[in-house]
Amino acid sequence: MIDVEIIRAQFEQQYGIHPRLIVRAPGRVNLIGEHTDYNDGFVLPAAIDRATYVAARPRDDTRVHIVAVDLHDEDEFALDVPIEQSVTHPWSNYIRGVVKGLLVAGHTLGGANLLITSDVPRGSGLSSSAALEVATGYAFQVLNRLNILGEELALLAQGAENSFVGVQCGIMDQFISALGQRDHALLLDCRDLNYQPVPLPADAQIVVCDSHTERRLAGSAYNDRRDECDQAVQLFRQWYPKIRALRDISVAQFHQHEADLPEPVRARARHVITENDRAVRGAAALEAGDVATFGQLMNASHTSLRDDYEVSIPDMDALVAAAQQVPGCYGSRMTGAGFGGCTVSLVETSAVERFKRNVAAAFRQATGRDTTIYVCRASDGVGRAASE
């Protein structure tokens, strides 16, 4: 966890005055329910105790000045002219997009000085971009005394990534960063944004293993997968004309018609439809204290992501295989959009140290590289940093 006093000192060094507020928005790990969010489906993420921090203070003009501590870079733009993408500072587009979204929604904003730092690994699948978007939105909300609900903030942040940055992500990442609850995952219905907290087992830990294979979502096959899911919906409408998304197709209905679907659309649909089922059954298992069943569903999820959705890569498969072989590991899977990033495992507390040793050694033997392992705790969503 980043020391808030260090952030305060960095802001004062940069701007010569202390910040008005420091906001913290967490990254997230998705326990199960991958690539279901943009198909109106179910997801089961948890906010984690790694976060993006935005220190902020209002200005007397209409300019927004940003210092990105971790990137040793800065940027500036104005609020009284159309906000455009930055080619030279692409990281700032997440901030620009959120600010533009607030303005388009009719909110009146004043200028601000911002300083940003984070301990959410970038490009790892832990939603560093969503944490930045939500933290930025919340900072402007507080500075300008705006009345914005958590769900609205999440939708605004998602809209910034969709329409301004150009990544067609679903709502999950921004939603859990805004509305996460300590020691709980959230079963989120991505169609209507209904959600319920799901208690996590007290005697198990969420363990994230970073493959250090950086994902580049905007240039990856992510948008292709969305298109393939849309194709599947169009095909299913010949049998079920009223469906809106793959979420509306049951596992039984899929099996009834799968032979009539072309590849790879058939495989993509199979993953999404069965993954929705796994997410709902997984939440029920955790509610019942059945951690073993939940772990089996995590394992099945990874197999589906690897074989049907084809978003895993050999490094991720090696991490998952190593985790699944450790006694005390209930289940393991890749998490996030894929093509690199992190795995998530649910591990019995007494087995965590053994897990870390065994997985690190097995991954090094398989790839010649090291993995960074984070033992995470489910945390609350966005808010003022602790010492504020």
pLDDT digits (tens, 9 = 90+) for 125-162: 788 999 999 999 999 999 999 999 999 999 999 999 99
| CA–CA distance, 184 with 171 (Å, rounded to integer) | 18
Contact 184, 44 (CB under 8 A): no
DSSP 378: B
Stretch 30-46: mean pLDDT: 96
Q: Which of 40, 75, 173, 308 is catalytic?
A: 173
The reported pLDDT for the residue numbered 345 is 98
pLDDT digit string, tens, across residues 310-334: 999 999 999 999 999 999 999 999 9
Catalytic site residue 173?
yes
Percent of the chain with pLDDT over 70: 97
Contact 136, 54 (CB under 8 A): yes
| CA–CA distance, 374 with 331 (Å, rounded to integer) | 16
3-class secondary-structure state, position 53: strand
Stretch 196-206: mean pLDDT: 96
220 by Cβ neighbours in 10 Å (0-12 / 13-18 / 19+) ranks as middle
Percent of the chain with pLDDT over 90: 90
In the chain, the domains with their CATH numbers are 4-199+379-384 (3.30.230.10), 204-376 (3.30.70.890)
Stretch 243-260: mean pLDDT: 98
pTM of the complete model beyond 0.85: yes
Contact 317, 341 (CB under 8 A): no
Helix (H) or strand (E) holding 352: helix 352-367
pLDDT band at 95 (very low <50, low <70, confident <90, very high): very high
Stretch 8-23: mean pLDDT: 97
Contact 67, 114 (CB under 8 A): yes
Judge whether residue 218 has pLDDT over 80: no
